[in-house]
Chain A
């Protein structure tokens, strides 16, 4: 299905945010916003839900803590209990203080790396991936809204053009997608 995409460019984050707000109030669906830095407050306007990566980090951390506990219990208590200075490793609980540092470090390591990897995978930002920003200036000082006609069935292209004229913009670029 062919589709038409409108790239509406601004040179200020606040102007873009205000325009997006006005457009959304008129029932326009904004697909995406490209910006050189995070625009605070844009997410609820264009309907981007908050990320759940934080929950993932917690789960990865729990995994790390569990692995460290199981591992150290096996190495130091089950498999080869060492007797160091008359303080033998006969039970995990009695020796838990010595295991605190590594439990902590391993928890942090798993949480941080697990979250970082998930972040890159979910973003689909990996080495060698092609850039998808519509204009190279969006990583410099320009802010672009992407509006797709297919996602705005109730609004004709002309009506949309008129709305955009009303809210104002810097540049407008239209592209056909097949």
Chain B
């Protein structure tokens, strides 16, 4: 058992036993779903289905139904893609990077954060797929021997790197998540009373029995997967940024992009984790496990990554002037003062100013304020991508081609639809899956639980 400093706030509040942990996590799954769950699920489903319908219409009619034009060939589609991939960065960062750094507070949030990651990457993946127009030939992005002659995908292209990056990230995150879920499914299986749920959780738990050798392997697999997933987290958004950085468009052709995108991704991902967890902990009565300290830790991450993003914005501005390239200077001047000034300044306000408020201890420990800021950051990060993408291309080299982007209702419906689908998935997860990593939380109960830390012999034996 690992000891912690006595002044460190306990991670698990109250007088919990191992059995209490099981009860607290399994009860929401075993009980009937509250009415609110059905209401939220219904709303999310309707919005999601509207999105699916819009995607069908898009596929049947063509990408022309989006508000794109000859100058602006990429707008909401890629904005939404990058936004969702960014959101999908928190989960694996929490479960992989924080595992390597032995941050125990991750254990209460990693499961749901990683579920969120996986669903966010699902949503992200939708956009490049539908952007192809002909979804049914989507497999052409894979180097598959074919009858078109020696026709291979271009391995020099960042778009292809992205295919590999996103599919690796999605599948490795999924496996990492599921391997952690297996022992927890076994807990639910062994408690299940109804034959159907017993059968279902029995299949999902793969017959896990908790043998010592299995736990030995489990811990090593978790560690190695974390080690593999850590560079993956950083590589995925770096590669996403290459989609822009390797081009010759002023405003995109920037070497600062990879670190700046990665920081932005973690920033937005943690904001989404806050949005979801602040509601979930309340709705599922998990306040003892996810409490103010966890929220504060996450707010510190938001503050740090937000500051990196802010620094990157200002560096970009400075370099555009310092480079002496007039196209480059114009691209940034146009962002701040051109027709899209409102998007630029929304981005600046949401992403640079709002995280700085987290320096104030009272604010970063306020749940209501955190919730508000998390929404602000999500909006700001959407605008960041919109600003980078649309404002850089709406002023072409030839002024005759200058243009503006106006989203069509399909643009909006597909975007809102993915938010609906995301919540459909997340609500299903919260209903049927253990939202806390049971086995991990139990393993820190004695080291970080309040009742254990306060007991007089905490610092004596073992």
Chain A residues at the B interface, C-beta cutoff of 8 Å: 11, 14, 32-40, 42-43, 46, 48, 50-51, 53-54, 57, 61, 71-72, 75-76, 79-80, 82, 84, 89, 95, 98-99, 101-102, 104-106, 108-109, 111-113, 115-116, 119-120, 122-133, 136-141
Contact = CB atoms under 8 A, between A and B. Distances in A.
Contacts, number: 203
Interface stretch (B187-195, B266-274, B303-311, B375-383): B187-195
A95 B156 contact: yes
A43 B212 contact: yes
Interface string B151-174: 111111010110011011001100
Interface of B: 1, 17-19, 22, 143, 150-156, 158, 160-161, 164-165, 167-168, 171-172, 175-176, 179, 182-183, 186-187, 189-191, 202-221, 224-225, 228-229, 231-232, 235, 239, 242, 438-440, 442-443, 446, 462
A131 B190 contact: yes
Contacts of B212: 32-35, 39, 42-43, 46, 48
The binding surface of chain A is classed by DSSP as helix
Contact of A112 (B143, B172, B215, B438): B172
Contacts of B218: 38, 119
A130 B205 CA distance: 9
25 contacts: A34-B212, A36-B183, A36-B187, A37-B215, A51-B216, A75-B152, A76-B152, A102-B161, A104-B231, A109-B164, A109-B172, A111-B228, A112-B171, A112-B172, A115-B224, A116-B175, A116-B179, A125-B214, A127-B206, A131-B186, A131-B202, A133-B209, A140-B22, A140-B190, A140-B191
Q: Sorted from nearest, which 7 A-B pairs have the closest CB atoms?
A: A129-B207, A141-B18, A136-B190, A38-B215, A125-B206, A37-B439, A101-B161
Given A102-B155, A102-B160, A132 B203 contact: no
Given A84-B156, A89-B156, A51 B208 contact: no
A126 B206 contact: yes
Most chain A C-beta atoms within 10 Å of own C-beta, residue among B155, B167, B189: B155
A141 B17 contact: yes
Contacts of B158: 101
A113 B171 contact: yes
B206 A129 contact: yes
B228 A112 contact: yes
Nearest to A110: B168
Given A75-B152, A119-B217, A140-B22, A37 B211 contact: no
A132 B207 contact: yes
A112 B156 contact: no
Contacts of B215: 35, 37-39
A11 B19 CA distance: 10
B165 A38 contact: no
Contacts of B205: 131
Given A113-B172, A115-B225, A131-B202, A51 B210 contact: no
